[in-house]
Structure 1
Amino acid sequence: MLLSLRTRTAARAFPALATAALCLASAVPAASAEPARPRSVEVPAGVVAAVAVFDRQTGTFTEQLDTTRQFRAASVVKLLIALDHLWDRGPAYDIPSADRARLDAMLRSSDDTAANHYWAQNGQGAIVDRMAARLGLTHTARPPASHPGHWGYTALTAADTVRIYRYLLDSAPAPVRDYVMGNLRQSTRCGADGFDQHFGTAGAFDRPWAVKQGWSGFDSGGCTATASAAGAPVTTAGDLRTEGADGVDLVREALHTTGTVGTGDRSIVAVLTLHPDGTPYGKAYTDLGRLVRSLDVPGGVRPTGTWFGTWGSGVRVRALPTTESATLTTLPAGVEVLVGCQKRGRQVSVPPYTNDWWAYLPQYGGYITNIHISSPDNQLPGVRTC
């Protein structure tokens, strides 16, 4: 029986043609700045957030909070890196296999090595300057002069993030749209650096969705027992995490979720967040999830189940309710998970606790022992038997 909550902290394709660029202002019309209805976005204590949810069906925002506040973009800037690389190649351009492999990995698994390659090859901060002008991004800026090689220090806002997706969905040549969005729909649970990246939008809604996430300043993020330091600089060792000259916060842990939700990419979601310095990844992951679940997202389908907190580091998700079955992944320490059902399986002991009940996590497609779920009894209350 789990008698009390225990917490563990982790160690800290074809882009637009030139004529499309000239006509972009008319191709992506201004959206209504009025929320559909008054509401208060539920921002967890200690979190700084900017939120924009745009309903493409009605052409209006359903949620807006501090939409022009600048955040360091972390890996969300990889959208601009990809679009810039493809921009001048024309609608008949066939992406070479080497480029395709890099771009696929960068968009699906947030691969930093691929981003480093294009950042260096295509002019570093000039990439951001070009894309801001092409897409009409009013509060997006290259990294500060003190950190020119750190693409993740690009300044970005929720409002500009929505505009990037509106360009992709409504104005980009069809091959660009299909290639980039197709990769975002295939977002891998584990990022290339070993972080679980299916937080926020990917956790709050059933498919269809497409996501590009961002994280910076965390030390361990699940998926593998030992993950490299995340963040978005060209070299992780160079993540200086200081206050940018332009006032963009480079200190506090950043966690962002962006993308689309619903059939036909009904809603565009952009949520950018900062967390108190030293926040464990699982805590930020959980807080961002709660924030996103509070939003009005037209077309979004909420997954069925009950959310529970977990404790422990390196908790394994198993294919079956037994310690002998294959490990599918590991959880970020202290993360909140959705439980679909529970069943009896192999008895597990983590002194002083013993339990033979296992929880099925539909978003992971596997089981964890109920010992690691924050609940007072062996069997979880209100959860059906599988």
Structure 2
Amino acid sequence: MSVEGVDAMRMVRLLMSVVLLGTGMIWGTVPAQAASVVVPPGVTAGVAVFDRQTGRFTESLNPDLQFRSASVVKLLLVLDYLWNRGPAYDIPASDRARLEVMLRSSDDDAASYYWDQLGRSAVIDRMVPRLGLTNTAGPPAGYPGYWGYAAFTAADTVRIYRYLLDQAPAPVRTFVMGNLHQATRYGTDGFDQYFGIASVFEQPFAIKQGWSGFSNSKAVDLTKEALHTTGTVGPNDRTIVAVYTLHPDGTAYGKAYTDVTRLTRTLNVPGAVKTPGTWITSTGSGVRARTAPNTSSTVIGTLPAAVEVLVTCQKKGQLINDPPHASEWWAYLPKYNGYVTNVYLGTGTPKLPNIPDCPTP
């Protein structure tokens, strides 16, 4: 694709890329470094964090280790679809709706549609040389229809986002990144996709998450659950973050969600602002977040079972009694913009220790 119409700032970045190309810091090998990443026990991780402002990686851990892509491959599906649609990049209404839900809510039916329409692994074969990817590959033999089994790495994921942000024509960049900035809390399959980047950092951020093996679906390795958080954080998409993880066979979604988020909290992400608060583990299953501290208010979300959530304050409300615990206090969860009864947080004490009261309006 051409780079006609790029603005002056994008042209400066492109010139910087040419200068840095010989150092191996752009499309070449991701530099090895002593990572500050803290990986939870039992988790296999591949991490790459790239600061677009300085042109340097701030984190690099197993950047070329291959993982099954899960839904992150949807980035290549949309780019392949848009590749030769210039210069106007008109998208028919039916495709626009399908692509938007694929990017924002990680819709699998839309991904399957484009995987078949675009030639399955041919998508990967075309996009690898176009973007200069080095360790990306299609699904293994015997799984031609399984787009989520494509092999991705953290380093190649940074290259995909760098193309989108620094080389893609403006309409492509605007469409793809615009939708990733509007990612919904839940995927169309019901999974909460606000782990990792979305759990840790304040807006602005853009995300394309991936998960595999937490339901009845089977994965290539048939043993480990996969959970990936990728995207950008900070003003003007300053820093690209790619975190790929595999978890021991049988790991519950809430445990993997917590571990990926804990790992993400240890990253050096320039330009990012972490949401303040205290991390507390929930108990039980199907715990609901509500707009107010009572059960008559609107349900705005359901927590994954036994997941660690961020709490900023607590407020008195309706008494909830679920023996052996009872409490009239409700915790405010900023990432849900709602309240959860203290009965299902921490040890179930009526009032959470060391958590301030919410300000009175």
Taking structure 2 as the reference length, what is the TM-score of the superposition?
0.91
Residue in 1 that maps onto 2:25: 31
* 1:334 partner amino acid: A
Deviation at 1:94, TM superposition (A): 1.2
Query: Aligned match of 2:98 in 102, 107, 110?
Result: 102
Question: Which of residues 41, 59, 69 in structure 1 aligns to 2:55?
Answer: 59
Query: What amino acid maps onto 2:350 in structure 1?
Result: N
3-state DSSP class of the match of 1:268? strand
Residue identity in the other structure for 1:355: S
CA separation in 2, counterparts of 1:365 and 1:217? 29
Match of 1:102, SS state, is helix
Match of 2:264 in 1: 292
1:188 maps onto 2:160 in alignment: no
How many residue pairs match? The answer is 344
Whole-Å separation in 2 of the counterparts to 1:327 and 1:107: 25
Contact between 1:215 and 1:254, CA under 8 Å: does it hold in 2?
yes
Q: Does 1:218 align with 2:196?
A: no
> Structure 2 matches for 1:242-321, cutoff 5 A?
242-243=220-221, 250-321=222-293
Q: What is the CA–CA distance in structure 1 between the aligned matches of 2:31 and 2:341, rounded to whole Å?
A: 46
**Aligned match of 1:8:** none
What's the CA shift for 1:91? Answer: 2.2
CA RMSD of aligned residues (A): 2.0
Counterpart residue identity of residue 251, structure 2: T
Q: Give the whole-Å Cα distance in 1 for the aligned partners of 2:64 and 2:278.
A: 34
Unmatched runs of 5 consecutive residues or more in structure 2 = 6-13
C-alpha change, 1:38 and 1:155, in structure 2 (3 Å) is: closer
Q: For 2:338 and 2:263, how far apart are their aligned partners in 1?
A: 25
Alignment of 1:1-386 (within 5 A): 16-17=1-2, 29=21, 30-31=24-25, 33-34=30-31, 38-219=34-215, 239-243=217-221, 250-375=222-347, 377-386=349-358
CA distance in 2, matches of 1:99, 1:167: 22
Q: Higher relative contact order at CA 8 Å, sep ≥6: structure 1 or structure 2?
A: 1
Q: Is contact 2:325–2:349 with CA below 8 Å preserved after alignment? A: no
User: Partners of 2:64 and 2:73 in 1: how far apart?
Assistant: 16
Shift of 1:241: 2.6
2:92 maps to amino acid: P
CA shift at 1:41, angstroms? 1.1
Name structure 1 gaps, 5 residues minimum. 1-15, 220-228, 230-238, 244-249
**Residue type of the alignment partner of 1:59:** G
Q: Deviations over 1:306-347 (max 9, x none)?
A: 110011100011111001111111110011100011011000
CA distance in 2, matches of 1:340, 1:361: 6
Q: Would the aligned equivalents of 2:258 and 2:308 in 1 still touch at CA under 8 Å?
A: yes
Matches of 1:53 and 1:137, distance apart in 2: 16
* 2: CA distance, partners of 1:353 / 1:376: 6
Kindly, what percent of the aligned residue pairs are identical?
60
Asked if the contact 2:103–2:208 (Cα under 8 Å) also holds between the matched residues in 1, the reply is yes
Native 8 Å contact 1:17 1:88 kept in 2: no
Q: For residue 62 of structure 1, what is the amino acid of its counterpart? A: T
1:52 maps to a residue whose letter is A
Q: Which amino acid aligns with 1:309?
A: T
Shift of 1:39: 4.2
> For the Cα contact (< 8 Å) 1:200–1:285, is it kept in 2?
yes
Q: 3-state SS of the aligned residue for 1:256?
A: strand
- For 2:51 and 2:265, locate their aligned partners in 1 and report how far apart those are by CA, in whole Å: 16
Q: Is the 8 A contact 1:55 1:266 kept in 2?
A: yes
Question: How far apart in 2 are the matches of 1:348 and 1:108?
Answer: 35
- Shift of residue 104 of structure 1? 0.2
